[in-house]
Amino acid sequence: MSHTEEKQSKLELAQNILEYQFENENLLLSAITHPSATEGRSVKYSYERLEFLGDSILGAIVASTAFHSFHELDEGGLTRIKVALVSGASLADVAEHLGLADVIVFGSSETGTGKRGLHSALENVYEALVAALYLDGGLEAARDFVSRTLIPRMSIDMASEPENPKSALQEKLQEGGITPTYKLVETQGPPHDRTFVAQVYAGTQGLARGTGRTKKEAESQAARSTLARLSEFFGKGIGDKNTEKAAVKAAEKAAAKAAKEEQKARKKRERDASKAKIEQ
């Protein structure tokens, strides 16, 4: 199948960047083609389906590398490394430095969307290229590309919990143009021994709750809990519509679970207080 001069030029440039020659160039063409350039045609002609496959393959490669590189880390630390490395911001940055912006085939309707549209496309194309390499050359081809371009960014520092969870959460949510807010939802205990319960919101959607001796501590705990429970979705990019729906569902479950946990904790405190009075 013959391609236009522009597409052929982009195919050659892409293969130079990937350091890999495709047997099936149509796979590569799909991986670098934005959906706006395939309007009215089958979804297989853009990167949408490949992106889905690439996301899973990329996650497996990164998870395996982290697992075998950091033997002392627990599941939480390994998860934080994976999430940081495959986040939308990370993949877009890698793709930009590789020069992938020059190989993407856009349709006329996408012209003028600016930096935000390009940021999303770069992330998606990177994942689609991982899938295309896997389909054309097997797991080794995909692993070689990821190992050369993304794995060098992996660091044990990524396993650390954020020092400021509220700032970390704000950074994550603002990728999708959402600013988190906090609300004091409950105050427990006598005046001299207060416990505060705060809930974090993404827009109007309530996320996780947190408790603390001060309002600030409660908000930090709420942010930390939200980051932990929604990290798998943030890895994909909170600005993605499908991701937002999944995040909302997860947030609802997280909020419900947090409420139940707090209710159990409150009942335990009440029982302990009653027991203490009896013993006195």
Ordered structural domains, the chain, with CATH: 5-159 (1.10.1520.10), 165-279 (3.30.160.20)
Question: Which DSSP helix (H) or strand (E) runs through 66?
Answer: helix 48-69
pLDDT confidence of 163, banded at 50, 70, 90?
low
The DSSP letter of residue 180 is E
232 noted as active-site residue: no
What sign for the dihedral angle of Cα 106, 111, 114, 120? negative
Higher pLDDT, 94 or 76: 94
Residue 249 has pLDDT above 80, yes or no: no
pLDDT confidence of 268, banded at 50, 70, 90?
low
Residue 248 has pLDDT above 50, yes or no: no
Scan for tokens 């908000």, then name that residue: 219
Which residue, among 38, 37, 20, has the nearest Cα to 28 in the 3D structure?
Answer: 20
Instruction: Select which of 25, 51, 123, 127 is catalytic.
Output: 127
Distance (Å, rounded) from C-alpha 88 to C-alpha 43?
22
Q: Which two tokens stand for residue 100?
A: 């992938």
Angle at which helices 215-234 and 75-85 pack, to 10 degrees? 70
Mean pLDDT of the chain: 80
pLDDT of residue 137: 96
127 noted as active-site residue: yes
Asked if 105 contacts 32 with a C-beta cutoff of 8 angstroms, the reply is: yes
pLDDT of residue 251: 47
Distance (Å, rounded) from C-alpha 200 to C-alpha 184?
9
Most confident of 139-148, 168-177, 191-200: 139-148
Give CA separation, 205 vs 60, 228, 244, 245, in Å. 31, 17, 11, 11
| 2-41 pLDDT per residue, tens | 678 888 899 999 999 999 999 999 999 999 999 888 877 7
Instruction: Select which of 25, 51, 55, 262 is catalytic.
Output: 55
Which residue, among 80, 75, 91, 92, has the nearest Cα to 227 in the 3D structure?
Answer: 80
- Is residue 188 classed as helix, strand or coil in its secondary structure? strand
Per-residue pLDDT, averaged over 116-131, amounts to 86
pLDDT confidence of 210, banded at 50, 70, 90?
confident
Per-residue pLDDT, averaged over 224-242, amounts to 55
pLDDT confidence of 233, banded at 50, 70, 90?
very low
pLDDT of residue 264: 64
Residue 115 has pLDDT above 50, yes or no: no
Asked if 199 contacts 185 with a C-beta cutoff of 8 angstroms, the reply is: yes
Which residue, among 164, 106, 127, has the nearest Cα to 240 in the 3D structure?
Answer: 127
Percent of the chain with pLDDT over 90: 38
pLDDT of residue 276: 63
pLDDT confidence of 236, banded at 50, 70, 90?
very low
For the chain, the residue count is: 280
pLDDT of residue 21: 96
Most confident of 15-19, 157-161, 183-187: 15-19
pLDDT of residue 109: 65
Give CA separation, 201 vs 79, 140, 180, in Å. 23, 42, 5
pLDDT confidence of 273, banded at 50, 70, 90?
low
Lowest mean pLDDT among 79-88, 97-106, 125-134, 270-279: 270-279
pLDDT of residue 255: 47
Higher pLDDT, 49 or 251: 49
